[in-house]
A = this chain, B = another copy of it.
């Protein structure tokens, strides 16, 4: 086996098969992947370089770094133009045009004169949306590790802490449990350090990033999350911290408060229970073949019945989705949003996060990561769902 490939041969074969089926449907003759997430999916490791996968024939690999991965089909290169020296191709070549910079895409286009360049970003997103049993196992492992951290959260809090001091304890606990810290997001516009801890009204501060919740952050260079707010009785702390323990992420949110949760604003308690109910309803409804937007509508209907629209998915600023696929990256397919055309498929990994922001109290609600099996959704993030006391 090629020392570059860091996957069991069967697993690698399975992923190639899925990819080639999609290539065949799309009429693409060969693809070239270079995005770290796509390389990790394809090779089982991140390299600086390119994976070339023809619809027929053997894949070839063009490596800049690291040194030392010589093997069949591996070529060391210093410039992407050298790829063309090793390849005979007519027809269509798929590139990650939603991710590759314009400049790099043009360089590659010029390196393959006479070849038609097509965009395979949607195809690659699709190929990663269905997780193999091997990938599901890695996600389960992340879920178990993340759950261990979450169960222990009340013990990480001391009276008088700010949100950021509390977050630092959560970061440390996560890292000691094996969290890689890396928070992979497709595209370059979203940024977050390790997770989002929102205390009190900071949850209502709009952020530029397309996450379900906002927060001011510590600096306008990274305006999201904890901002130094003192954690107070009568207010909530929402914890949504990094679940990447295996290269595959789980996403879990839980809500906490100092003191007795029953003393919180009844509106917040009602909204929190509704979030749990929505997760359960989505989990019971989701099946392979269900339209993703229907899950959104189910949730929106429950919120409307409860009269809580004003607070749903944010208050001053609202997110346009209640859930998202995830795995190697936090924003994979399917998207659970009103206009999503995605259809749920067996093997999807989906985070559902129906959250509310109650002014004066803070954010409430939960988020779970589910694997979609033939018989329904299975939660792999199983820390207690109720609002837990930090005291």
Contact = CB atoms under 8 A, between A and B. Distances in A.
Contact of A48 (B95, B167, B193, B210): B210
A67 B316 CA distance: 8
A328 to B, nearest CB: 7
Given A172-B168, A188-B35, A188-B188, A100 B101 contact: yes
Interface string A31-53: 00011100010001111110000
Interface string A54-72: 0000000000111110000
B165 A209 contact: no
A181 B95 CA distance: 32
A74 interface: no
Contacts of A168: 172, 175-176
A210 B66 CA distance: 9
Contacts of A247: 219-222
Secondary structure call for the A interface: loop
Interface in A195-213: 205-210
Copies of this chain: 2
A232 B214 CA distance: 43
A145 B376 CA distance: 51
A207 B66 contact: yes
Contacts of A103: 97-98, 119, 121
A379 interface: no
Given A40-B221, A223-B46, A68 B6 contact: no
Contacts of A194: 181
A123 B8 CA distance: 46
Contacts of A100: 101-102
A210 to B, nearest CB: 7
Contacts of A219: 180, 246-247
A169 to B, nearest CB: 8
13 contacts: A6-B220, A34-B189, A45-B221, A46-B220, A64-B208, A65-B207, A65-B208, A67-B317, A68-B317, A98-B102, A101-B187, A172-B172, A184-B191
Interface of A: 6, 34-36, 40, 44-49, 64-68, 95, 97-106, 119, 121, 164-165, 167-168, 171-172, 175-176, 178, 180-182, 184, 187-189, 191, 193-194, 205-210, 214, 218-223, 244, 246-247, 316-317, 328
